[in-house]
Amino acid sequence: MSNGLPDPAAAQREDVSYGPLPGYLGHLLRRAQARVFADFADALGEAVSPAEFGLLTLVAANPGITQVRLAAALSLDKSTLSPALARLTRRGLLKRERLASDGRLQALRLAPGAEATYATLRARVEAHEARIAAALSPAEHAELLRLLRLLLGWDLPGPSAPAR
């Protein structure tokens, strides 16, 4: 396949009619997500899941963020967030500490020594991202990111597409 990702089922699809599916945004997003997650798993193995990497990234960028703010930033409920945070804490990647100002809240930071692990994970994710984006020109990559942020209603600045 032209984007550099293996597609072992390509030959089996040649004679299949997809009807209106190629015009359904949800279908294409789901299929793209499956390909991206498969490559992520190849790149990182069982080190972290895509969701766990997202959590680590937000904590690294916002040291001391509370679980409440982290859940809101990711549109997650506490029952979804708590098990992931517990896994990352057990693996020595996150440190949770009760806030002195409100003992019900916990501040999150990368655990001591986890910065190097996070840097290694981030480098592997960035190589994975480059593989995913290989089918796109830098301008197309930037436009896809812009459109996805627009679709999500995110008024967030994003980095431009990396130079290739």
pLDDT digits (tens, 9 = 90+) for 3-58: 566 565 665 667 889 999 999 999 999 999 999 999 999 999 888 999 999 999 99
CA nearest neighbour of 6 among 123, 127, 131 = 131
pLDDT of residue 1: 41
- C-beta separation of 132 from 6 below 8 A: no
pLDDT of residue 144: 95
Q: Quick check: is 27 in a domain?
A: no
pLDDT of residue 117: 95
CA nearest neighbour of 43 among 131, 110, 139 = 131
Alpha helices in the chain (DSSP H): 25-44, 50-61, 67-73, 78-90, 114-133, 138-152
pLDDT of residue 146: 93
Q: What is the pTM of this model?
A: 0.81
Q: Quick check: is 7 in a domain?
A: no
Q: What is the dihedral of CA 49, 90, 92, 51, to 10 degrees?
A: 20
Tally of domains in the chain: 1
What is the longest distance spanned by two Cα atoms in the chain? Answer: 64
pLDDT at 103 over 80: no
Q: Quick check: is 1 in a domain?
A: no
pLDDT of residue 80: 87
**CATH number of the domain residue 55 falls in:** 1.10.10.10
Cα–Cα distances in Å, from 4 out to 8, 57, 133, 148? 12, 26, 9, 22
Q: What amino acid occupies position 76?
A: L
Q: Quick check: is 157 in a domain?
A: no
pLDDT of residue 13: 66
- Distance (Å, rounded) from C-alpha 148 to C-alpha 141? 11
> For residues 33 and 1, which has the higher predicted lDDT (pLDDT)?
33
pLDDT of residue 8: 56
Q: Quick check: is 145 in a domain?
A: yes
Helices 78-90, 50-61: crossing angle, 10 deg rounding: 80
Residue 12: other Cβ atoms inside 10 A: 8
pLDDT of residue 14: 72
- Domain with 105 in it: 35-152
Q: Quick check: is 122 in a domain?
A: yes
State percent of the chain over pLDDT 90.
Answer: 70
Q: Quick check: is 17 in a domain?
A: no
- Each residue's pLDDT tens digit, 125-163: 999 999 999 999 999 999 999 999 999 888 766 554 444
